[in-house]
Structure 1
Amino acid sequence: MLPTREEAMELVRDGLRSNPGPWGKHSLTAAHCAEKIAAACGDMNPEKAYILGLLHDIGRKFGTRHLGHVSDGYTYMKKLGYDEVAKICLTHSFNSQTVDEYFGKFDVSEEELRLIQTELAKVEYDDYDRLIQLCDSLAGAEGVLDIVERMGDVKKRYGSYPKEKWDANIALLHYFEKKMQQNVYLVCEKDTFSPEEIEG
């Protein structure tokens, strides 16, 4: 089950009231990219893609956490009965379906880590999982970013960026460009799109 676009936006507004920050505009940009790419693919649902993009980081409602936002989002969406969103909350951070590739802080309890590992092992990735992984890498709070520049920026901030994840993100870019037969940055309106302020 999926929330409507309006319900999804209200969940983000509520999340920002609990934990204000740039994640709201990042989510709007990811949703915009997901909708545009899904529409250009022709065999995907743009509305579903938008909603999944909007809510992929909803776990941030519960505070500033790294790996923790994955389990928070998954558990929260499961509780509301939004299983498809819960899956995206889980899969958007793991291109190769394992926590081994995660290079942020492991700020989770043993129970939360077990939950992530167990549920991740069960899921079967589809094009929506891949799409939101790509859009997460393209989305900045200020708009659509160059994926290589964004990964370079992360590498500078963290001191490293796993080569497997870097290559996986580039592969996702090529995968969707081939599927659309178009340039991702043109489809996502990189030079013109800017997310609006989310009014509380």
Structure 2
Amino acid sequence: MLPDREKAFILLNEAYERNPGPWKNHSIVVAKCAYAISKQCEDMDEEKAYIIGLLHDIGRREGVTNLAHVIDGYRYLMAFGYDEAARICITHSFAIKDINTCIGNMDVSDIDLKEICDLIERYEYDDYDTLIQLCDSIALPEGPVKIEVRMNDVKQRYGCYPLSKWNKHIELKHYFEKKSGLDIDFLEI
């Protein structure tokens, strides 16, 4: 289940009021990128793509965190019954189903870590999971950029970007370019 676009924006704005930061504009850019790409894919719903893109980082409402934002967002959206958006809170950070590809601190309890690992393992990724993984890797708060620019931005801020994750994001870019017929490096939103 998903909220409609209006409700998703209400949730995003409330979250931003709790924890202002560039993550809100980043989320809007992810949503617009997801919409633009999915609109060119016959088997995808661009409205769903927009909404899950908008809410992928909603866990940031709880403050400045690293890994914690995925479980915080998941639990927050599950409380509303928005399971489709909640799963994206988890999957958007793990293009590779390996907790060791986490960028930043593992600022969660052992119980939360186990839950995140169990959820990653349980989910069979579909094109919506991978689309948001891609869009997250091209979206700066100011707009979409070439994937290498965004991944270098993350690497510079956090000190690392696992090569396996980097390569997976490049693979996703090529997959969605073929699927959509778009040049993702020059995506217009």
Query: Normalised by the size of structure 2, how large is the TM-score?
Result: 0.97
SS at match of 2:75: helix
Query: Partners in 1 of 2:98 and 2:3 — Cα distance?
Result: 27
Q: Which runs of 5+ in 2 are unaligned?
A: none
Question: Which residue number in structure 2 is paired with residue 91 of structure 1?
Answer: 91
Query: Partners in 1 of 2:74 and 2:107 — Cα distance?
Result: 15
1:118-156 deviation line (CA, Å, top 9, x unaligned)? 111111100000000000011111111111011122223
Query: Partners in 2 of 1:76 and 1:157 — Cα distance?
Result: 27
Query: Partners in 1 of 2:66 and 2:129 — Cα distance?
Result: 19
SS at match of 1:41: coil
The one-letter code sitting in structure 2 at the alignment partner of 1:147 is I
Note the 1:23-38 alignment, pairs <5 A.
Answer: 23-38=23-38
Query: Partners in 2 of 1:37 and 1:71 — Cα distance?
Result: 27
Question: Which residue number in structure 2 is paired with residue 167 of structure 1?
Answer: 167
SS at match of 1:133: helix
Question: Which residue number in structure 2 is paired with residue 198 of structure 1?
Answer: none
Question: Which residue number in structure 1 is paired with residue 79 of structure 2?
Answer: 79
SS at match of 1:164: helix
Percent identity of equivalent pairs: 51
The one-letter code sitting in structure 1 at the alignment partner of 2:51 is I
RMSD: 1.1
Query: Partners in 1 of 2:142 and 2:79 — Cα distance?
Result: 31
**8 Å contact kept, 2:35–2:46:** yes
Query: Partners in 1 of 2:159 and 2:70 — Cα distance?
Result: 22
Query: Partners in 2 of 1:99 and 1:34 — Cα distance?
Result: 24
Question: Which residue number in structure 2 is paired with residue 183 of structure 1?
Answer: 183
Q: Which runs of 5+ in 1 are unaligned?
A: 194-200
